[in-house]
Each structure stands twice: as C-alpha cells, then as structure tokens.
Amino acid sequence: MATIEMPSAYIVTGTTRGIGKALVSEILRRGHWLFSLSRAADAVKGQWRNYHCDLGDPGQVQAVMGRVLDDIPYERCGDAVLINNAGVLTPIGPLDTADCSGIDNALQVNLMAPLRLMALFIGAAGRMRGDRRIINITSGAGRHPYAGWAHYCAAKAAVNMLTRCTALDQRRRSTPVNISALEPGVVATEMQVDIRRADDSDFPDRPRFVRLAESGGLLAPEEVARLILELDAAAQFQSGQIYDLRRVAWLNGRPTIAAEKENG
C-alpha cells in the first residue's frame, strides 16, 4: 500500500495530559483526523473526536474501540495510525508492599489495553485505504530494570515483545500493518512528578531523576510530539523495531533514527 495524500486518521490513547495532550495539538496542527480514547468526556471539535474510555476496563476498551473504528470516515482519510500512548507508573515500590489493585490497573493500561487495541486495529485494517501503522509508546524501562518499577518494566518489556512478534505475524500478510515501539526519553510530564514524589526507599534511583529535572534535562512533551509526527511522516519507523527518541539525528532538514541494537 502507498501513502495516500489525504489527511491521516490518528487513533491516540491517553490525551488528557503529557505526551498525549501534546500529540493532540500536533496532529490537529498538521490537519489530520484525530480519534482519542481518554477519560475526558465524549466530545467533537472539528476533525477531533474524543471517546470517553477507562483503559483499565477491558470491556470499555473493546466497546469504545469498536465505535472508533466504525466512525472513521475512511473515504476521506489516507493513512491510519494507532498510537498507544496512555501509561501508568504507579504504584511505585517493591511488589510485596504495593497495592495489588493498583498493579492490576497498571498492567491493564500499560499492556492489555494496547494489546487489545492492536488486535482490533489490525482486524479493521481491511477498511483502511492507505498505509496502516501502530506506534507503541514504550520506555527504556522495558530494556533496563529499575528497583521499584517491577510491574512497569515488565509491562513495557512485554509491549516491546508484542511489537516485535506482531510485526513478524504481519510480515506474512499481503498488506502488512507496520508496528514499531518508541521510547520517548525523559519527558517533563506528571509521570516524572510521580517519580520525584516517590519515597527513596520505594525508588532508590529517585535522586538521579531529581537531578536531571533540576539541571533542565527533561524533554518538553511538545517537542516529543513534534518529533514523533515528523519521524512518522518521514517513514522512519520500521516494522518490528524499537526506537529511542534521544537517538534522532537530522540530515538535510529531515529527521532520521536508528533502531535499538537488541531488536534481533
């Protein structure tokens, strides 16, 4: 399939704040259609439609994504892109001290919702006219272990494998969906506030994140959103690959990015 010169349809999760909110502005600024799944109320504004969805509830994920896929005006859209962005880091701390229901919720939001949304998106790919892509927002924590982040690291590592394995499945399809994962770097969002608020006994690496924030080392969510859209438009995300946004390089005004080595 070739990229069609019409606005793309973006489906994005977790758009109330942070990177997701910045993605909303960037996607609309570029004139695309946007279908967001968030805990904000249902709303329609120009080419943006928000669907209220608690991603911690599997029934809602299934039903709401079904509505999204029925509502997309495929005849007026070129490419279709799913960005699994929503994420939860809390509860932070050793497993035996953490609240089990909080961990269940985090695993639903970080792993099970992206998995279900990927499956539904791929299942509807036949309705889409242009290229179909999935970008999973992962984390360096999916490759590097951190004390206090066991469920979060495990979920992001699983998202990386989900990305790689589903991309292999797609290779055997005549019109494969392109599936990649992206680590955004350390970004100035509420998630970093949660990290800095944690207790040192729950998260021993906390001082490093405090120092990074104090030294101005955090990326702005708006910059992250802009880079994601630029790289996607420049067809930089190869299926089955995991990327670290901090590795972006510019060549003749165009962004390029190399995949992480352990992609196999």
Ligand X SMILES: NC(=O)c1ccc[n+]([C@@H]2O[C@H](COP(=O)([O-])OP(=O)(O)OC[C@H]3O[C@@H](n4cnc5c(N)ncnc54)[C@H](OP(=O)(O)O)[C@@H]3O)[C@@H](O)[C@H]2O)c1
Residues known to be catalytic: 152
Minimum Å gap between C-beta 1 and ligand X is 28
| CB proximity list for 63: less than 8 A, separation 6 or greater | none
Cα–Cα distance between 111 and 149 in angstroms, integer? 15
Closer residue to ligand X in complex, CB, 14/240: 14
Supply the Cα-derived Rg of the chain in whole angstroms: 18
Torsion over CA: 30, 180, 138, 208 (sign): negative
| CB proximity list for 15: less than 8 A, separation 6 or greater | 21, 23, 24, 36, 37, 38, 40, 50, 85
Cα–Cα distance between 107 and 92 in angstroms, integer? 13
Minimum Å gap between C-beta 68 and ligand X is 14
Contact 181, 71 (CB under 8 A): no
> Which residue of this chain has its Cβ atom nearest to ligand X in the complex?
18
Minimum Å gap between C-beta 208 and ligand X is 13
Contact 48, 22 (CB under 8 A): no
Closer residue to ligand X in complex, CB, 56/255: 56
Tokens of 207: 């001082």
Closer residue to ligand X in complex, CB, 190/214: 190
Q: Is 110 helix (H, G, I), strand (E, B) or coil?
A: helix
Minimum Å gap between C-beta 151 and ligand X is 12
Chain residues in the site for ligand X (CB under 6 A): 14-20, 38-39, 54-56, 85-88, 109, 137, 139, 184, 186-187, 189-192
Minimum Å gap between C-beta 32 and ligand X is 19
